[in-house]
Amino acid sequence: MTATFAADARTPADLLRSALDGDPARPLVTFYDDGTGERVELSVRTFDNWVAKTSNLLQDELGAGPGDRAALLLPAHWQTAVWLLACWSVGVAAAPGGDPEPADLVVSGPDGLEAAQACSGERVALALRPLGGRFPQRPAGFLDYAAEVPAQGDRFAPYSPVDPEAVALETETGGLPLRLTGEEIVQHARAGAARLGIAPGSRVLSTLPYDTWEGLEAGLLAPLAAGASVVLCRNSAELSAEQWEQRTASERVTLRLG
């Protein structure tokens, strides 16, 4: 019987560390935005570097720590995946698509900036431009993520140990609220990988949003728990069957979800 990938992992951040200890040069997240023609591929090492920098921004610049809640008003995007793992590395509960008003901080893309102003805590804006570009003009009342993150350190260590039994994710499934600890995220992700047939080396293509468990499972967590990789596609509704076939072949996709 094949050993479970990262068998001792108790948080999603543990899963990422195990991937880094394995083959850090392999692709982890490949992202397409068919509205702009953007394609970005991040290896495990590069993704981990973005997570480390973002975690340092969260902890040192934004003063976030265990017990805090971050509303993530973001689409399924490679930078959203980075923010999720950064929250879990610091011990912050992530709420994709969550209500910003009671949140301790909010992270928003261009489409969520108006709603994000309801948060009285720290506010971070992501332009979601190709190559991680900045806003032409920083939104008033927000930090521009692309301007702040490059100066952060490439290594991260939390000031406080992350509790695997603390709430780490607030989302929904089947229209019902779902709150999971870090340990439960790992357990659910492993169960999803087994159910979907995702194994080490699999390439999972997802067009699902990140504001439900199903989208998070398909587009990040089940592949991460299995030692696989993900191909995220955004604004892809107008692709033809031939274009999908070409992408599936060129990216060596083994499973398409959404």
pLDDT digits (tens, 9 = 90+) for 32-70: 999 999 999 999 999 999 999 999 999 999 999 999 999
To 5 degrees, how large is the angle CA 91–CA 82–CA 157? 45
pLDDT digits (tens, 9 = 90+) for 223-235: 999 999 999 999 9
| 197 pLDDT higher than 80 | yes
| 1 pLDDT higher than 80 | no
Closest by Cα among 216, 209, 217, 197 to 237: 209
Q: Percentage of the chain with pLDDT > 90?
A: 97
To 5 degrees, how large is the angle CA 238–CA 243–CA 248? 120
- Kindly indicate the confidence band of residue 4, based on its pLDDT and cuts at 50, 70 and 90: confident
Length of the chain as a residue count: 258
* Mean pLDDT of the residues in the chain: 97
pLDDT digits (tens, 9 = 90+) for 58-110: 999 999 999 999 999 999 999 999 999 999 999 999 999 999 999 999 999 99
Q: How far is CA 175 from CA 84, 215, 255, in A?
A: 21, 13, 25
Rounded to the nearest 5°, which phi and psi values hold at 173? -145, 130
pLDDT digits (tens, 9 = 90+) for 213-224: 999 999 999 999
* CA–CA gap between residue 107 and residue 54 (Å, rounded): 12
| 3 pLDDT higher than 90 | no
Element (H, E) at 72: strand 69-73
Give the 3-state secondary structure percentages of the chain, helix then strand then coil, rounded to 5: 40, 20, 40
How high is the pLDDT of residue 131?
A: 86
* CA–CA gap between residue 111 and residue 117 (Å, rounded): 12
CA dihedral for 200, 201, 203, 209, sign (positive or negative): positive
- Kindly indicate the confidence band of residue 2, based on its pLDDT and cuts at 50, 70 and 90: low
